[in-house]
């Protein structure tokens, strides 16, 4: 694996941490801190305010005050990569600056996702303006590519242009395209210069590591953190393919359901705390029947969430 010219304190596996909500729809920072500490104890970093965090159902002030509460609660910002991308440049700048001031190791930045069919020049202008307005040499940006949701494709030429213009700032990406050929092409083009590519699912973890990527930022790291982190640590050992198959089995169970509601069902059950079932509209909780089916399928493979 190529050594990055910008050594990172971030682990190989991060979780886009599920957000617990209070009855009035605010993030429950106390409960979230406990969840993040559990992930940390299982070797997984925290990409709070990602897709699975329901980040775009929260306001920028809600996210910033929650981040402050987590850091003040003792969570290690060296293992944190908060999502700061928004359609508004102003909101993105505010959240990004706030994360840098709290010494987070990186930020995960969506492209502006409302307007479709935008040009590379327009996307470059967005990232460029955010970086310049934040104006802090400590800023480490990981571009978040998730075209199934944003309907925006990030071209190799755009990524190359950003890394050339901001070599010490645009340092990596999370690729949730689900397109291995694309992920591999980004690794081949940019990893030799130290660009850190995280696959967007642990399904691609072995392939990413073998190709020269650094790990994964994956939904099911919320519920299966230890096993995913252990594969990232032992990917060159003889049982690695079996470990990968075991991870895929867990993922395939959750993938039958709306993932966020499904994972919240598991957390609520294994922590014995029904408040974890809450999601923000337009998402909905799983029905009682779906919850029972999911939990039964997990039990059938002896799934556990020890220490939750």
Residue 87, token pair as written in the block? 């359609």
Catalytic residue among 31, 63, 174, 226: 174
DSSP state of 212: T
DSSP 158-194: HHHHHHHHSTTTEEEEEE-S--HHHHHHHHHHHGGGT
Closest CA to 201 of 185, 224, 172: 224
Sequence-distant (≥ 6) Cβ neighbours of residue 171 within 8 angstroms: 4, 6, 8, 106, 140, 141, 142, 194, 195, 196
Is 34 in the active site? no
Among residues 281, 284, 263, the alpha carbon closest in space to that of 58 is found at 281
CA 128/CA 1 separation, integer angstroms: 29
Cβ pair 78, 106 in contact under 8 A:
no
Q: Tell me the C-alpha distance between 132 and 165, whole Å.
A: 11
Q: Treating both helix axes as pointing N-terminal to C-terminal, what angle do 225-233 and 240-254 enclose, rounded to 10 degrees?
A: 150
Q: Is 115 a catalytic residue?
A: no
Residue with tokens 């850190």: 196
Angle value at C-alpha 161, between 155 and 165, nearest 5 degrees: 150
Among 144, 198, 226, 270, the one annotated catalytic: 144
In whole angstroms, give the CA distance from residue 39 to residue 61: 24
Which residue, chain included where needed, has tokens 């069902």? 265
> Does 217 carry a binding-site annotation?
yes
The pair of structure tokens assigned to 230 is 């252990």
Positions annotated as catalytic residues are: 144, 174
- Residues of the binding site for pyruvate: 217
């Amino acid at each position: 694996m190529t050594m990055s010219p910008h050594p990172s304190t971030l682990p190989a596996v991060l979780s886009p941490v599920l957000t617990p909500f209070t009855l009035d729809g605010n993030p429950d920072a106390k409960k979230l801190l406990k969840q993040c500490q559990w992930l940390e104890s299982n070797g997984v970093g925290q990409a709070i305010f990602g897709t699975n965090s329901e980040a775009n159902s929260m306001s920028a002030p809600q996210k910033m005050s929650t981040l402050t509460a987590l850091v003040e609660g003792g969570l290690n910002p060296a293992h944190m990569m908060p999502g700061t991308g928004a359609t508004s440049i102003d909101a993105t700048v505010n959240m990004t600056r706030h994360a840098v001031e709290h010494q987070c190791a990186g930020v995960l930045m969506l492209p502006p996702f409302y307007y479709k069919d935008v040009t590379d020049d327009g996307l470059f202008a967005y990232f460029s303006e955010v970086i310049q307005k934040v104006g802090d040499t400590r800023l480490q940006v990981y571009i978040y590519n998730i075209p199934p949701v944003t309907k925006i494709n990030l071209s190799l030429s755009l990524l190359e242009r950003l890394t050339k213009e901001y070599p010490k700032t645009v340092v990596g990406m999370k690729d949730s395209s689900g397109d291995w050929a694309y992920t591999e092409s980004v690794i081949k083009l940019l990893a030799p210069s130290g660009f850190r590519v995280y696959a967007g699912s642990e399904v691609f973890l072995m392939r990413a590591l073998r190709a020269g990527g650094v790990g994964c930022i994956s939904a099911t790291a919320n519920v299966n953190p230890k096993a995913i982190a252990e594969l990232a640590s032992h990917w060159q050992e003889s049982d690695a393919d079996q470990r990968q198959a075991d991870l895929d089995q867990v993922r395939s169970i959750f993938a039958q359901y709306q993932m966020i509601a499904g994972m919240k069902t598991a957390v609520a059950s294994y922590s014995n705390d029904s408040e974890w079932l809450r999601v923000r509209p337009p998402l909905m909780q799983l029905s009682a029947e779906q919850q029972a089916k999911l939990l039964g399928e997990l039990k059938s493979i002896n799934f556990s969430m020890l220490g939750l």
